[in-house]
């Protein structure tokens, strides 16, 4: 007596036979399509070169002997890549058909063939130039999905044992439906992956060819004594790689300068649409400005300082002519995020800019390429729109921006803050003189004083590094004569308006955390 999978509950099931040769071959080909489609789609998240199909194709080109390449180029001229891909597709289809034919409920030979193809794909992917282990992910996920589909399809292809040979030629209706659905899903995944992949590649090329605008109105040089370089401390300028990133984008927008435009509308005298050429025809400025996120916890690292090149926002607003009763600039990104910024702040003379470069480089995609806002003194959520494409002049009593709708405060001035960076919380410290160092910020007001206290003792004045500008953070140091035992260090800053950093610990919601950074250290 024969049993089949699914017999565990003891229900008597009619014995089944494997489906017709054609159905099984079709199951294999569709499952291979699932591998490639899913792999293509997942590769968008990793790297275009991690696509299994592309990786195998590129590796074949790179590894084939010179004469094969010459032959291919001569024979197919500029279509040699297409010829390669068509050839690969046929080879994969044939192997996959065989895999489908030999796949059995009990002995998954076909799945094993898929696994072997997967190993080839992984090998090719992780040997691409610049590849990391993550390049294996698209192939691995694709092969797992493919094997699942292969197993399900070949199971659905089975026919009752007693069906006569003629009947069994016709695939079962459920098999056809399932096969069509799997094929459609594979095609959709593959097409989406290709589309997004091409879009990314186009944006990468566009960014590579980007020329950072030359500026006459340069940022003031960073004077000696601004960046005191305490080992383990926070550098005055944050590199693009180390700059914190906060946004709601699941997929980083990849706009090209050709696609980008900024529409200025709403309560303006004349609506404007700026294209890239229009923007760069204007006069850029270069400024050093510290950004901070409202979500930063006391002592947290959601702040960064960069040299930005961009175009003064106030000039563009003046061109459009802001009507007197408009008090909010509602800026919108290409992915639908919005920020509401007080017009009066944008027009009060501070260096609010539409930035196109960060530390001498085009903006990284993650930080808003090709255009983002930078407004000194306001948290990012109300001012620093990345991938900005739309400006609506409106009113705070009419419009609400993204985070304001979600319970955050409508206006977001940056609160005076200070942080201990050195010694690290885990540092082993010996009694004696210990250098304590950190950062403080109160953008657009400036840091006037930083004080440190030990074990709730009297406040002691720290030494401030040179101030670059009131729009940037400021380093500080303090000499501690440390004694053995556990100690608690606390820091607080006072801005140049005389406001002392607020002691009460509050959460970042709705308008930024308050409290003094506190660090417990063991000295022994
Ligand atoms: N398009 C877009 N812009 C955005 C955001 C976002 O979610 N989407 N987040 C804002 C917030 S909350 C902050 S703190 C800053 C962070 O900028 P960064 O990622 O370049 O450091 O970007 C702002 N601009
Ligand atoms: Mo933020």
pLDDT at 409 over 80: yes
Would you say the CB of residue 492 lies under 6 angstroms from ligand 1?
no
Q: How confident is the model at residue 9 (pLDDT cuts 50, 70, 90)?
A: very low
3-state secondary structure 402-418: HHHHCCCCCCCECCCEE
Q: Write out pLDDT tens, residues 187-213.
A: 999 999 999 988 888 999 999 999 999
Task: Tally the C-alpha atoms within 13 A of residue 243's C-alpha that lie toward its C-beta.
Answer: 25
Check residue 79 and give its pLDDT. 61
Closest residue by Cα to atom 5, ligand 1, is 247
Contact 306, 239 (CB under 8 A): no
pLDDT at 165 over 60: no
Task: List 463's β-bridge partners, or say none.
Answer: 477
Q: Write out pLDDT tens, residues 169-188.
A: 667 788 899 999 999 999 99
Nearest atom in ligand 1 to the alpha carbon of residue 245 is 19
Q: Write out pLDDT tens, residues 211-255.
A: 999 999 999 999 999 999 999 999 999 999 999 999 998 778 999
Contact 481, 435 (CB under 8 A): no
- pLDDT > 70: percent of the chain: 93
Across the chain, mean pLDDT equals: 92
pLDDT at 1 over 50: no
Check residue 2 and give its pLDDT. 42
Alpha helix (H) residue ranges in 158-258: 165-169, 173-208
Would you say the CB of residue 402 lies under 6 angstroms from ligand 1?
no
- The C-alpha atoms of residue 84 and residue 73 are separated, in whole angstroms, by 10
Q: Write out pLDDT tens, residues 69-113.
A: 666 666 655 566 777 888 889 999 999 999 999 998 788 999 999
Region 465-484: mean pLDDT is 98
Distance 502 CA to ligand 2 centre (A): 20
Distance 246 CA to ligand 2 centre (A): 6
Check residue 163 and give its pLDDT. 61
Mutate to test the pocket of ligand 1, among 241, 246, 402, 403 (most ligand atoms within 8 A of CB): 246
Closest residue by Cα to atom 12, ligand 1, is 381
Of 454, 466, 521, the closest CA to residue 491 belongs to 454
- The C-alpha atoms of residue 319 and residue 393 are separated, in whole angstroms, by 13
Would you say the CB of residue 135 lies under 6 angstroms from ligand 1?
no
- The C-alpha atoms of residue 414 and residue 58 are separated, in whole angstroms, by 50
Give pTM, 2 decimals.
Answer: 0.79
Full strand arrangement of the beta sheet holding 517-523: 460-461, 447-454, 485-495, 517-523
pLDDT at 33 over 70: yes
Distance 339 CA to ligand 2 centre (A): 11
Check residue 5 and give its pLDDT. 44
Would you say the CB of residue 291 lies under 6 angstroms from ligand 1?
yes
Structure tokens at 441: 């910020």
pLDDT at 477 over 90: yes
Distance 381 CA to ligand 1 centre (A): 6
Q: Write out pLDDT tens, residues 413-447.
A: 999 999 999 999 888 899 999 999 999 999 999 99
- The C-alpha atoms of residue 332 and residue 94 are separated, in whole angstroms, by 50
H or E element that contains 138: helix 137-157
- The ligand that comes nearest to the alpha carbon of residue 512 is 2
Least confident of 9-13, 31-35, 249-253, 464-468: 9-13
Q: How confident is the model at residue 10 (pLDDT cuts 50, 70, 90)?
A: very low
Would you say the CB of residue 468 lies under 6 angstroms from ligand 1?
no
- The ligand that comes nearest to the alpha carbon of residue 388 is 1
Would you say the CB of residue 408 lies under 6 angstroms from ligand 1?
no
Mutate to test the pocket of ligand 1, among 291, 297, 386, 441 (most ligand atoms within 8 A of CB): 386
């Amino acid at each position: 007596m024969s049993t089949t999978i699914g017999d565990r509950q003891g229900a008597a099931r009619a014995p089944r036979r494997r489906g017709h040769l054609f159905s099984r071959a079709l199951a294999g080909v569709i499952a291979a399509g699932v591998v490639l489609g899913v792999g293509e789609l997942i590769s968008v998240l990793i790297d275009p070169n991690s696509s299994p199909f592309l990786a195998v194709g590129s590796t074949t080109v790179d590894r084939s002997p010179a004469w094969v390449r010459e032959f291919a180029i001569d024979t197919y001229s500029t279509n040699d890549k297409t010829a390669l891909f068509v050839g690969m597709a046929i080879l994969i289809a044939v192997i996959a058909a065989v895999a489908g034919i030999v796949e059995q409920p009990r002995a998954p030979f076909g799945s094993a063939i898929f696994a072997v193809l997967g190993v080839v794909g992984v090998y090719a992917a992780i040997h691409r130039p610049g590849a990391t282990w993550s390049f294996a992910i698209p192939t691995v996920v694709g092969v797992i999905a493919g094997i699942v589909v292969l197993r399900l399809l070949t199971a659905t292809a089975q026919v009752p044992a007693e069906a006569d040979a003629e009947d069994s030629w016709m695939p079962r209706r459920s098999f056809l439906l399932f096969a069509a659905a799997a094929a459609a899903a594979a095609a959709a995944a593959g097409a989406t992956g290709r589309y997004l992949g091409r879009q990314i590649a186009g944006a990468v090329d566009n960014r590579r060819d980007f020329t950072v605008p030359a500026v006459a109105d340069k940022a003031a040089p960073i004077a000696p004594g601004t960046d005191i370089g305490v080992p383990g401390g926070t550098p005055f300028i944050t590199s693009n790689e180390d700059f914190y990133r906060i946004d709601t984008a699941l997929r980083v927008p990849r706009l090209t300068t050709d696609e980008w435009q900024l529409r200025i509308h709403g309560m303006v005298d004349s609506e404007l649409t700026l294209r890239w050429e229009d923007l760069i025809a204007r006069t850029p400025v270069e400024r050093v400005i510290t950004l901070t996120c409202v979500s930063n916890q006391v002592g947290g690292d959601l702040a960064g300082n960069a040299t930005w090149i961009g175009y003064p926002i106030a000039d563009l607003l003046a061109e459009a002519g802001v009507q007197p009763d408009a008090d909010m600039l509602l800026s919108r990104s290409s992915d639908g995020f919005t920020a509401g910024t007080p017009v009066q702040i944008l027009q009060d003379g501070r260096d609010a800019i539409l930035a196109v470069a960060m530390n001498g480089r085009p903006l990284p995609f993650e930080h808003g390429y090709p255009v983002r806002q930078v407004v000194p003194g306001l948290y990012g959520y109300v001012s620093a729109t990345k991938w900005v494409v739309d400006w609506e002049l409106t009113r705070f009593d009419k419009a609400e921006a993204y985070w304001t709708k979600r319970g955050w405060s409508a206006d977001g001035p940056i609160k005076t803050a200070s942080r201990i960076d050195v010694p690290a919380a885990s540092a082993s410290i010996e009694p004696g003189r210990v250098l304590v160092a950190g950062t403080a910020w109160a953008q657009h007001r400036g840091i006037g004083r930083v004080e440190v206290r030990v074990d709730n003792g009297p406040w002691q004045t720290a030494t401030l590094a040179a101030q670059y500008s009131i729009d940037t953070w400021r380093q500080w140091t303090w000499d501690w004569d440390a004694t053995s035992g556990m100690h608690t260090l606390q820091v607080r800053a006072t801005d140049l308006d005389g406001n002392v950093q607020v002691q009460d610990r509050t959460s970042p919601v709705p308008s930024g955390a308050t409290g003094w950074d506190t660090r417990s250290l063991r000295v022994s």
